[in-house]
Structure 1
Amino acid sequence: MARELKSEALARSLREQMDSGELPPGAPLPTTAQLRDAGHSTSTIQTAVAILRREGRIETRQGARPRVLPQRAIITHSASYVTPVDGKRATWKSTLADLGMEGTQELGRVGEVEAPADVAAALEIECGESVIVRPRVMRADGEAVQLADSYYPLDLASGTPLARQGLVKGGLYGVLAAVGLTPGDTEEELTWPSPTQEEQERMRIGPDVCIVRQVRTTRVTDGRAVGVDVMVLRADRHRLRYHLPAQ
């Protein structure tokens, strides 16, 4: 595990004060003098401020102290990622753009891994059987707000863009169309666990930050599960909406 830089530790400390309400929206950050008195060097302070500004947590103006910005809610409709509207499904980028934010994603190493127990159960394969994983960190205005790790059976994903490093045009649905499969039902399960150490490190959050774990299983028309998305959402940044039509 990489050692945390002093500037990253200071940025994390200030971020935690914002999340706890100790530094509410509109409040100024501690002065440079106060932070120096706390043992931080000028270069550490400047870098930490730059990190928070890049994440969209603060605003800086010449001649004024940096101030905490309000954090806008990320409102998502699960159905919009599954059911096309005017021939298009929602994407992270389009969802965030509709909310006036920039949505970006950082793709980790794509490759074969042993299926975690819950993923294996959802895909109806043996625990530990190899699957393709596509791990991503989702960002809103530069801040990590969600993890999205997608798992696919080897026999489906091997030899397709799902198994290659890089973005996949059309995602899973594009690959299904290319191999002649038709999407069927999609299921979601929500839980509210504490973040694991790995999740804390990937999103740069503390152990007390509340998260929602959202597991989405996609099936084709014959009932076979062809994809499992395991998403970890910062609860303080997300609002999930579901439309449940009458029968």
Structure 2
Amino acid sequence: MPEPHKDERPLAERIAAEIRKLIMLGDWEPGRKVPTNQELRAQYATSNVTIQRALQILKDEKFLEGQVGVGVFVRGQSAQTINPAHSIAPSEPGQPYRWLSEATKRQQRSKYRMLAVRESVPPVEVARALRLDEGGTALLRSRIGFLDDQPAELVHSYYPIELAHGTRLADRRLIPGGSPALLLEMGYPTRSQDDVVAARPATTEEYEALEIPRDVPVIEIFRIVYSDDERPIEVTLLTKPAHRFKMGYHIEMP
């Protein structure tokens, strides 16, 4: 039989992983004072140097905050749960994109900043989802979303060229009400949405755009939006920093 898989990471990283889980699950609530180094040394049966390294990892990742002369505390805000359903339905006429209006309901400041709008050869999985011929192009819209002035998501959305050409999708400006509202206006209502969720290390683009600390992974959402006759009208690659966000789903049983 093969040898059991063992955690060979340095002890400081393993301790940081255990504490990180306590924070993400709410066992260590926001604002809580972290146990003393002496207490943590006893709990994990290790040295003061190892405990300091573990705490520094979590400080670098923004899970913990040090206050000179007072102690170390859990960050003041819990990880925020993402509800993908907020982006499915188009906004009402004259209303902002639902991602923005949902942030307002949570009393958060929100905004998007456009990065690029251009014709592009998409990644293979995107091309397949859009049913493009080999070497086919799509209209790419790239942007960053901010919550309370912190980068919250990096979004790359692809649209069929024949659908987007000559419309506001091809304009390098934000779309009032967001793309679902515009697509509905164009005669392409959103009928369904498929999401595939993964976690992975950040690329350089994501690391810089989302201000990722240390080796924090990103949540990646690969989203296909369908209109009538199951026609794909939008494919989005969306990434969020995993130390600040969690995915949430509500499923009604028949």
Supply the distance in 1 between the matched residues of 2:96 and 2:193 (Cα, whole angstroms).
Answer: 14
Q: Does 1:241 align with 2:248?
A: yes
Supply the distance in 1 between the matched residues of 2:244 and 2:228 (Cα, whole angstroms).
Answer: 34
- In the TM superposition, what is the alpha-carbon distance from 1:156 to its structure 2 partner? 0.5
Q: Does 1:28 align with 2:67?
A: yes
Judging changes above 3 Å, is the alpha-carbon distance between structure 1 residues 124 and 89 closer, same or farther for their aligned structure 2 residues?
A: farther
Judging changes above 3 Å, is the alpha-carbon distance between structure 1 residues 169 and 176 closer, same or farther for their aligned structure 2 residues?
A: same
Contact 1:116–1:128 (Cα < 8 Å) also in 2:
no
Q: Tell me, what secondary structure is at the counterpart of 2:116? A: coil
**1:143-188: CA deviation from partner (whole Å, max 9, x where unpaired):** 1121111111100111111110111123222232232233222100
Supply the distance in 1 between the matched residues of 2:213 and 2:236 (Cα, whole angstroms).
Answer: 23
What's the TM-score once normalised by structure 2's chain length? 0.67
Structure 2, unpaired ranges of 5+: 1-55
Q: Tell me, what secondary structure is at the counterpart of 1:129? A: coil
- Per mean C-alpha deviation after superposition, the further-off stretch among 204-213 and 187-196 is 204-213
1:59 corresponding residue in structure 2: none
- In our comparison, the structure showing a higher alpha carbon Rg is 2
Judging changes above 3 Å, is the alpha-carbon distance between structure 1 residues 16 and 106 closer, same or farther for their aligned structure 2 residues?
A: farther
Contact 2:89–2:190 (Cα < 8 Å) also in 1:
no
Judging changes above 3 Å, is the alpha-carbon distance between structure 1 residues 155 and 242 closer, same or farther for their aligned structure 2 residues?
A: same
Judging changes above 3 Å, is the alpha-carbon distance between structure 1 residues 194 and 183 closer, same or farther for their aligned structure 2 residues?
A: same
Q: Tell me, what secondary structure is at the counterpart of 1:159? A: coil
- Which residues in structure 2 correspond to 1:98-137 (within 5 Å)? 98-137=105-144
Partner letter of residue 61 of structure 2?
A: D
1:78 corresponding residue in structure 2: 84
Q: Tell me, what secondary structure is at the counterpart of 2:243? A: coil
Q: Does 1:212 align with 2:219?
A: yes
Q: Tell me, what secondary structure is at the counterpart of 2:156? A: strand
Supply the distance in 2 between the matched residues of 1:99 and 1:217 (Cα, whole angstroms).
Answer: 27
Contact 2:160–2:234 (Cα < 8 Å) also in 1:
yes
What's the TM-score once normalised by structure 1's chain length? 0.69
From 221, 226, 232, the equivalent of 1:225 is 232
Judging changes above 3 Å, is the alpha-carbon distance between structure 1 residues 234 and 132 closer, same or farther for their aligned structure 2 residues?
A: same
- Which residues in structure 2 correspond to 1:188-203 (within 5 Å)? 188-203=195-210
Judging changes above 3 Å, is the alpha-carbon distance between structure 1 residues 78 and 208 closer, same or farther for their aligned structure 2 residues?
A: same
Supply the distance in 2 between the matched residues of 1:166 and 1:176 (Cα, whole angstroms).
Answer: 16
- In the TM superposition, what is the alpha-carbon distance from 1:86 to its structure 2 partner? 7.9
**1:58-91: CA deviation from partner (whole Å, max 9, x where unpaired):** xxxxxxxxx9962343332211221369887962
Judging changes above 3 Å, is the alpha-carbon distance between structure 1 residues 96 and 221 closer, same or farther for their aligned structure 2 residues?
A: same
Judging changes above 3 Å, is the alpha-carbon distance between structure 1 residues 149 and 85 closer, same or farther for their aligned structure 2 residues?
A: closer
From 179, 182, 193, the equivalent of 2:189 is 182
- In the TM superposition, what is the alpha-carbon distance from 1:16 to its structure 2 partner? 7.5
2:50 corresponding residue in structure 1: none
Q: Tell me, what secondary structure is at the counterpart of 2:209? A: helix
